[in-house]
Chains A and B, each alone.
Chain A
Amino acid sequence: MGTYTFPSHYPLNCPPQPHDEMCGTYYRLVKNGNTSDPAHFKSHYEANLRKDLESIKACSRRAVSMFKAYEDAIKLSILFPTKGKYIMCLKLTGGHGVVCEENYRSFKSHHNWWVPNGVNAQHFCSDIKGPVS
């Protein structure tokens, strides 16, 4: 497992321990089909959203959400279309940061990705499909 440095605004013990180096294909719901849009990878913290939840979900606010199962991304888009209608495919390899499972009842393959300093998340985007109808 690599040693990473994360932005200074990360709280203590974030990303959480223990975690595994997780590789493979992941899917993230995004709002447009432009593969080079930097907004696709903004965490809630970076987008300055849901500040009200900083006290209880500070670490999750700094992560980028994605799914291991393509179907989960589709379901999220169906249930909450404003979350996005395009599905980005990410091919993660070693050295990309920390990925942890955070299973939800409705989206069992959900994972959080904490992107370390010096890693450009856009480089892992292999494709964007959509819109989900």
Chain B
Amino acid sequence: MNTKYLSDIQGSKVKSNIFQGFVVKETLIEYDFPLLLEARSPKGDSWLFKWCDTIEHAQLERWIALPISESRLKAIKNDSLSLREAVTLSEKEFYVFDAKSFFEPSEIKKSSPEKLPIDYLPSDDVSVSGSLLGLKMPERECLKVRLHVFSELISEGRAPLSIISSLQNIFQQYMTWVAHAIDRSSEEGVPSSVIDWSGFNLTSVKAGSFKMECESNSNREQTEKLTKACELLANLSNGTFDKESIEKEFDGIYRSDIVLLVSSLAQFILDSKLSMSISWASSNNPKGYLAIDKRRVKKYFDSLDSLRDAEHVRNITIKLTPKEADPIRKTVKGEGGMQRLLRRLQSKLKKDNTISLSSDEIEKILRYGLNYGQGGFENQLIGLAMTLRRIGIPFNTA
């Protein structure tokens, strides 16, 4: 990426006086000159200003600026949050600007972390006091994974069990499935149930975040596949959803399931209002990292929608068993997306238990219905979702 000029970075221009009245509260990192600052806006909000680069031809310094909550600021200062996580999982706005003199930018753009050159972001998890917070390479041949989850629901010392168990289920189901899909020559075929490839341990709980880690019980070949599964997750949820490369990599049935499982994780993140970083380490990739939050999830679903729009849409009609149809007929209360979907299905479900479904509805049924561990409305969709899976409906070509 050519970053000689701010115009080379994607984003929308904003007024150059937005930092007027800001004051520096503390220098958090210094090397020759301040490189990371905590600042206060005139309204009293805390902001982080991180130096990124020197634009030598213009004698300008390039910075990023982001508002930060008090709990995250505290976590940065007590070494429980890395600078990379603070920046890549920015909670609100995200600005990049060039300035000769601090707080007096010549040009500002509203942007996002993934639109910046990779070298503007820390390449690993290091705290502001210089402590290494990244995952250590496992001593044996395996894949080590860490989920660092951020949510307002997490208090000091207590993490909601529902979030922990759901994340464990969804993540492990994804990993198992992709590892099988990568191994197309396997005679075992697609597993029919969730295989617990490893158990997560809760390693720390602070106010606003918790960490859970696991190590796979795998040989070298399996570790390679699991690592690839993590990398694929990063590609899919980074918004770099590339249909052609996924089609090349996986057969139709696998492909639809993989997209579906990523969608389950994305939907869970959206519904639970959480953000998280996923780090992984193995001999194949010692420094894997993915930041995922509401903004990225929405971008991911947008890319799926545009993909579906580009495809030929056709309806399918299937006949359900009474066991599959009855839960759909149950009374639905509330106004969420899932409730709307259930009401629409109720209106389409005929007395003889046949139902005609569009590709959009199929995707939603699979996404909600297979979102294990949620309970409630999802239970009404499990039967229908399993039927679709059983008859091999490819998710994005339905």
Contacts and interface: CB of A to CB of B under 8 A. Distances in A.
Q: Do A and B bind each other?
A: yes
Interface of A: 44, 47-53, 57, 60, 65, 72, 75-83, 104-108, 110, 132-133
Interface string B47-76: 000011110100101000000000000000
A65 B59 contact: no
Nearest to A67: B31
B59 A80 contact: no
Given A52-B100, A65-B32, A110-B31, A78 B61 contact: no
B78 interface: no
A104 B29 contact: yes
Given A72-B130, A107-B130, A82 B83 contact: no
A81 B123 contact: yes
A32 to B, nearest CB: 14
Contacts of B126: 75, 78-79
B119 interface: yes
A66 to B, nearest CB: 11
B62 to A, nearest CB: 9
Contact of A82 (B33, B53, B102, B124): B53
A78 B124 contact: yes
Contacts of B119: 81-82
Given A65-B31, A105-B29, A75 B130 contact: yes
Interface string B19-62: 00000000011111101000000000000000111101001010
A5 to B, nearest CB: 24
Contacts of B32: 44, 50, 60, 65
Contacts of B30: 104-106
B122 interface: yes
A102 to B, nearest CB: 9
Given A49-B56, A106-B130, A82 B31 contact: no
A79 B122 contact: yes
A44 B33 CA distance: 10
Contacts of B83: 79
Contacts of B203: none
A60 B34 CA distance: 12
Given A49-B56, A80-B51, A82-B53, A104 B100 contact: no
Question: Among the interface residues A47, A52, A110, which one has the most CB atoms of the partner chain B within 10 A?
Answer: A52
A77 B126 CA distance: 11
Contact of B33 (A48, A57, A79): A57
A30 to B, nearest CB: 14
Nearest to B99: A52
B135 interface: no
A50 B287 CA distance: 33
Given A51-B59, A107-B31, 6 more contacts: A47-B56, A52-B101, A81-B119, A81-B122, A106-B128, A132-B123
B5 interface: no
A83 B56 contact: no
B122 A49 contact: no
Contacts of A57: 33
B29 A133 contact: no
A77 B32 CA distance: 14
A133 B130 contact: no
A70 B128 CA distance: 17
Nearest to A49: B54
A105 B129 contact: yes
B122 A133 contact: no
Contacts of A108: 130
26 contacts: A47-B56, A50-B32, A50-B33, A52-B100, A53-B33, A72-B130, A75-B130, A75-B132, A76-B31, A77-B123, A81-B118, A81-B120, A81-B122, A82-B52, A83-B31, A104-B30, A104-B31, A105-B28, A105-B128, A106-B29, A106-B129, A107-B31, A107-B130, A110-B31, A133-B123, A133-B287
